[in-house]
Amino acid sequence: MKNAFALFLLFTVFSSYSQQSKSAFQPGEWLKFRMHYGFLNASYATLHLKTSDIDGIPVYHVVGKGRTTGFASVFFKVDDTYESYFGKEDGRPYRFIRKIDEGGYTKDIEINFDYKEDKAVLYDKKHNKKYKFELKDSIQDLLSAFYYLRNNYEPSDLVVGEAIKLKMLYDDDGIFNFKLKYLGTEILKTKFGKVECYKFRPLVQSGRVFKERESLSLWVSADDNRIPIRIQADLAVGSIKADLDGYNGLKHQFKIIMD
């Protein structure tokens, strides 16, 4: 269960592969997901998008929260908060905050991105350490990537079996390359009704957290919102599943297939 909410956010990033001639989201958008670990209704996760500014630059400010609930919290308590400030015009991250407490495993990190100096400074507040990373290529944090991809890729360009790459920085491990393979379309039954989705499979390293290299599956709505509908993963111990449980403030109509 450690880093479960971070895994959920990572899955969410990959589920947002799309391109919009118009924006896929707007301030006020709120998404809620119900997460299961094995047979337990383990936790809820939310994403709330607002507006702000960083040094006079207009930005979106998204806050992600993850909490265990009910019976699961007796065995493993999760209290996670993630925040990202990313540009309204270019989608680049300017500040990223990660503050988590997962069964006593804690992190308190802030990353500030300086594009004039082409560097990012990560401040580990728990250990009072700072790390610097060079920004040679375009970069995203764990949350900004979700919104960036919703606006910067064209669904008509998706080819079954092909993968895309994304560079990301969200921890002191440094900048990562992730791959995402497109698997085609599928219709899912949800609490809201039947939803047409694009299906993806992130390619991950096996052995540490995940059961095998291609153990993740995720589905994103094939409408103009491009929101995650379902995420499933086989972990080294057990499995995790997240389903869209609630939403508000969507910019576009959420399309349900009527029988």
pLDDT at 204: 55
pLDDT at 4: 55
Position 178 scores a pLDDT of: 74
CA–CA dist 98, 107 (Å, integer): 7
- pTM score, two decimals? 0.85
CB-CB contact of 241 with 231 (8 Å): yes
The distance between the two most distant Cα atoms of the chain, rounded to a whole number of Å, is 57
Burial class from Cβ neighbours inside 10 Å (0-12, 13-18, 19+) for residue 170 reads buried
What is the distance between the alpha carbons of residues 142 and 133, in angstroms, rounded to a whole number? 16
What residue has token string 């390359």? 177
Q: 29-248: what fold?
A: YmcC-like fold (2.40.360)
Q: What confidence score (pLDDT) does residue 6 get? A: 62
Contact 16, 225 (CB under 8 A): no
- Ranges of each domain in the chain: 29-248
**pLDDT given at position 63:** 97
Range 27-47 average pLDDT: 85
Rounded average pLDDT over 241-258? 95
Quick one: average pLDDT of 90-117? Answer: 93
20 pLDDT tier (thresholds 50, 70, 90):
very low
